[in-house]
């Protein structure tokens, strides 16, 4: 059920139910941080392994500080610059945060979402919200209330329109004096480095990545997906009949014989491509195709984030 009524949503959360939460990145499946039954039901509802920790969403820096033992200097710098916004920081938790939320890690992931509806909800509540993306485990992330509804029809989703960033938050941790990138996201490495200098990149996707929740396969449509710099060459080599191509800036005319051609960002703007990415994958996934071929994006700025999501969607 989709609603714009904050009071219904507040009431559901107080009763211990899950709700669909709009954020600037993707919609979350949210619960009261301090209600362990509600937190457990997130894992059940998403079919998510208990080893994959959740992000805590707060309304203010002081609410974030109340959940952690330490707030490193560089974390303060990043919070001042990027919060509210799509930056998640991994910080040493104190005893107010349960092991269920962090999957037994000593650290907790926290961010302030930059979405007017999410912020007014958080300001109405006297507890933070834990929220993973509102999709079943491994499926395409939702960027509209309708996407959430199609996955979880019996849950109330707070309608906040189309997400403006369209890809998940960037995740960083801290090691001594170093900032470590753990997940590519809506804020580019370049933007973070402009604030704190060089950061360490620990995002390399690998089947046995030691980081919780960094599964190689993720964000996947139900049909096969291939990512390539040469969609037309790829098309000439495949046997599948019903093929759709997702282009970055424009359709190449020789592709007229495919079932569907979609363009991510006619302007060539990477932020526009990020905003449209998951919506385009949802659209293609509903068309009953045998194969989706996606044009790989340039490897800088948000192109790195989009390519990361596409590579995970493509892993068989």
- Using CB under 5 A as the binding rule, whether residue 133 contacts Mg ion is answered as yes
CB crowding 79-101: b at 16 or more within 10 Å, else e: beebbbbbbbbbbbbeeebbebb
How many residues touch ligand TXA (CB under 6 A)?
Answer: 28
Cβ–Cβ contacts within 10 Å for residue 260, how many? 15
Q: Is 171 in the site for ligand TXA (CB under 6 A)?
A: yes
Q: Which residue among 13, 31, 55, 246 contacts ligand TXA (CB under 6 A)?
A: 55
Task: Kindly state whether residue 28 participates in binding ligand TXA, applying the rule CB under 6 A.
Answer: yes
Among 90, 189, 220, 274, binds ligand TXA (CB under 6 A): 90
Show contacts with Mg ion in window 181-200 (CB under 5 A): none
Q: Does 97 interact with ligand TXA (rule: CB under 6 A)?
A: no
In terms of CB distance, is 48 or 234 closer to ligand TXA? Answer: 48
Say whether residue 107 binds ligand TXA (CB under 6 A). yes
Q: Which residues pair with 201 in a beta bridge?
A: 181
Q: If binding is defined by CB under 6 A, does position 213 make contact with ligand TXA?
A: yes
Q: Torsions phi, psi of 232, nearest 5?
A: -70, -40
* Stretch near ligand TXA under the rule CB under 6 A, chosen from 66-74, 127-135, 150-158, 260-268: 127-135
Residue 88 binds ligand TXA, judged by CB under 6 A:
yes
Binding of ligand TXA by 91 (CB under 6 A): no
| Cβ distance to ligand TXA smaller for residue 261 or 307 | 307
The number of C-alpha atoms within 13 Å of 23 and in the hemisphere containing its C-beta is 37
Residue 90 binding partner per list Mg ion, ligand TXA, none, with a CB distance cut-off of 5 to 8 Å that depends on partner kind: ligand TXA
- Distance, in Å, from the CA atom of 265 to the CA atom of 111, rounded to the nearest integer, reads 28
> Which residue stretch of 99-107, 235-243, 282-290, 297-305 sits at the interface with ligand TXA (rule: CB under 6 A)?
99-107
CA distance to 10, 12, 51, 149, 296, per residue, from 154 (Å): 16, 12, 26, 8, 36
Where on the chain is the footprint of ligand TXA (CB under 6 A)?
23, 25-26, 28, 52-55, 86, 88, 90, 102, 105, 107-109, 113, 131-133, 168-169, 171, 183, 211-214
Binding site for Mg ion (CB under 5 A): 133
């Amino acid at each position: 059920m989709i609603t714009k009524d904050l009071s219904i949503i507040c009431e559901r959360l107080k009763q211990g139910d899950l709700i669909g939460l709009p954020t600037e990145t993707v919609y979350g499946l949210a619960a009261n941080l301090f209600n362990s039954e509600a937190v457990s039901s997130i894992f059940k509802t998403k079919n998510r392994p208990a080893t994959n920790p959740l992000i805590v969403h707060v309304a203010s820096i002081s609410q974030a500080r109340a959940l952690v033992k330490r707030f490193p200097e560089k974390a303060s710098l990043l919070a001042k610059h990027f919060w509210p916004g799509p930056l998640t920081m991994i910080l040493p938790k104190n005893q107010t945060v349960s092991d269920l939320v962090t999957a037994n890690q000593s650290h907790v992931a926290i961010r302030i979402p930059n979405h007017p509806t999410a912020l007014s909800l958080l300001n109405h509540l006297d507890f933070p919200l834990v929220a993973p993306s509102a999709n079943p485990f491994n499926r395409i992330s939702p960027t509209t209330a309708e996407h959430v509804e199609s996955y979880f029809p019996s849950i109330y989703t707070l309608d906040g329109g189309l997400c403006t960033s369209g890809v998940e938050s960037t995740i960083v941790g801290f090691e001594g004096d170093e900032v470590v990138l753990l997940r590519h996201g809506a804020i580019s490495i370049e933007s973070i480095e402009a604030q704190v200098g060089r950061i360490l990149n620990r995002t390399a996707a690998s089947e046995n990545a030691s980081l919780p929740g960094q599964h190689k396969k993720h964000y996947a449509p139900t049909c096969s997906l291939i990512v390539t710099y040469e969609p037309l060459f790829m098309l000439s080599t495949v046997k599948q009949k019903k093929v759709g191509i997702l282009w970055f800036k424009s359709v190449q005319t020789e592709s007229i014989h495919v079932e569907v051609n979609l363009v991510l960002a006619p302007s060539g703007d990477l932020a526009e491509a990020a905003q449209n990415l998951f919506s385009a994958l949802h659209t293609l996934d509903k068309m009953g195709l045998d194969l989706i071929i996606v044009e790989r994006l340039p490897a800088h700025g948000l192109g790195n984030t989009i390519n990361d999501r596409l590579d995970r969607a493509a892993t068989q």
